[in-house]
């Protein structure tokens, strides 16, 4: 008879971590980041908790990762540890252990409540080199004037068609600067839902409705994600309740 697996001690503390993907590291896939983060946990010598069972694994929970190729200032995960840790020390040790471009922004002690439930919307900036700001603004106005904009995307279950307009809380265009000159910048707030509407879907909708086509792939940057403040259309801080509980 197969021996019963050793039961692992439960976490005594949960830490919530905000991290960024910058520069060339934005092309790191979610799976590759997970491997890098587990290596960083070991290098930082953190007392990570493990699950019980025949194949124990580190207690790391990821929340709503950004698409591969997108930069982000607002990625989140949660870890369980077997010994209480100082969040500032964990931040410094992890940041030193991770490669440049995968950067720890902040670490807080988790308060009650699920982190994933607070991630209701994202704020994005999309830099479109070679696109005139006036053309982007006109396409955005046409998009917002529609009640429904259907796009197609290949999913694990095959090609799927869905409405991307309903998820868009706000969308505007302005002029900006990139390394090779002037560009159009789209600022948008997108509500999270099922299926998840990504910036690529919005760009497909702008191409369909407004004829907006970028000569080079746009640079997508997630600026924030968190609770959606409907009155203002803004995105709040998902770690605010954790900070309040620790104060």
Backbone dihedral angles phi then psi of residue 215, each to the nearest 5 degrees? -70, -20
3-class state of residue 87 by DSSP: helix
Report pLDDT for 181: 73
Residue 158 shares a structural domain with residue 94: no
Residue 59 shares a structural domain with residue 126: no
Residue 144 shares a structural domain with residue 222: yes
Q: Residue 5: inside a domain, yes or no?
A: no
Q: Residue 98: inside a domain, yes or no?
A: yes
C-alpha radius of gyration, the chain, whole number: 20
Could you tell me the residue range of the domain that residue 204 belongs to? Answer: 121-226
Residue 103 shares a structural domain with residue 134: no
Residue 105 shares a structural domain with residue 194: no
- Total domains, the chain: 2
Q: Residue 235: inside a domain, yes or no?
A: no
Residue 143 shares a structural domain with residue 78: no
Residue 157 shares a structural domain with residue 103: no
pLDDT of 80-131, one tens digit each? Answer: 999 999 999 999 999 999 999 999 999 999 999 999 999 999 999 999 999 9
pTM of the shown model: 0.92
Report pLDDT for 151: 95
Residue 129 shares a structural domain with residue 200: yes
Q: Residue 204: inside a domain, yes or no?
A: yes
Assess contact for 34 and 62: CB atoms under 8 A: yes
Q: Residue 236: inside a domain, yes or no?
A: no
Question: Chain centroid to CA 244: how far?
Answer: 23
Q: State both tokens at 168.
A: 């868009």
Assess contact for 63 and 115: CB atoms under 8 A: yes
Which residue numbers in the chain have pLDDT < 50? 1
**For residue 173, which of 202, 128, 137, 203 has the smallest C-alpha distance?**
137
Q: Residue 81: inside a domain, yes or no?
A: yes
Q: Residue 157: inside a domain, yes or no?
A: yes
Report pLDDT for 1: 45
Residue 166 shares a structural domain with residue 77: no
Residue 18 shares a structural domain with residue 101: yes
- CATH number of the CATH domain containing 148: 3.30.310
pLDDT of 21-39, one tens digit each? Answer: 999 999 999 999 999 999 9
């Amino acid at each position: 008879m197969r021996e019963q697996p050793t039961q692992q001690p439960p976490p005594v503390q949960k830490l919530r971590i905000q991290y960024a993907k910058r520069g060339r590291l934005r092309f790191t896939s979610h799976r590759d980041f997970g491997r890098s983060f587990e290596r960083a946990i070991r290098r930082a010598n953190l007392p990570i908790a493990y699950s019980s069972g025949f194949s124990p694994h580190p207690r790391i929970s990821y929340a709503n990762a950004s698409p591969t190729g997108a930069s982000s200032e607002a990625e989140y995960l949660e870890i369980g540890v077997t010994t209480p840790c100082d969040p500032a020390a964990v931040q410094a040790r992890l940041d030193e252990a991770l490669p440049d471009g995968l950067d720890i922004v902040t670490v807080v002690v988790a308060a009650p409540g699920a982190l994933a439930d607070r991630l209701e919307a994202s704020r994005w900036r999309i830099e479109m080199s070679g696109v005139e700001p006036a053309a982007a603004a006109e396409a955005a106005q046409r998009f917002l004037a529609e009640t429904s904009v259907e796009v197609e995307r290949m999913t694990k279950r095959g090609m799927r068609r869905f409405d991307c307009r309903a998820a868009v809380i706000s969308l505007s265009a302005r002029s900006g600067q990139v390394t090779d000159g002037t560009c159009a910048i789209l600022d948008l707030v997108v509500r999270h839902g099922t299926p998840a509407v990504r910036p690529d879907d919005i760009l497909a909708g702008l191409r369909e409705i407004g004829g907006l086509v970028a000569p080079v792939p746009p640079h997508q940057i997630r600026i924030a994600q968190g609770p959606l403040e409907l009155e203002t259309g803004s995105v709040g801080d998902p770690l605010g309740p954790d900070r309040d509980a620790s104060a």
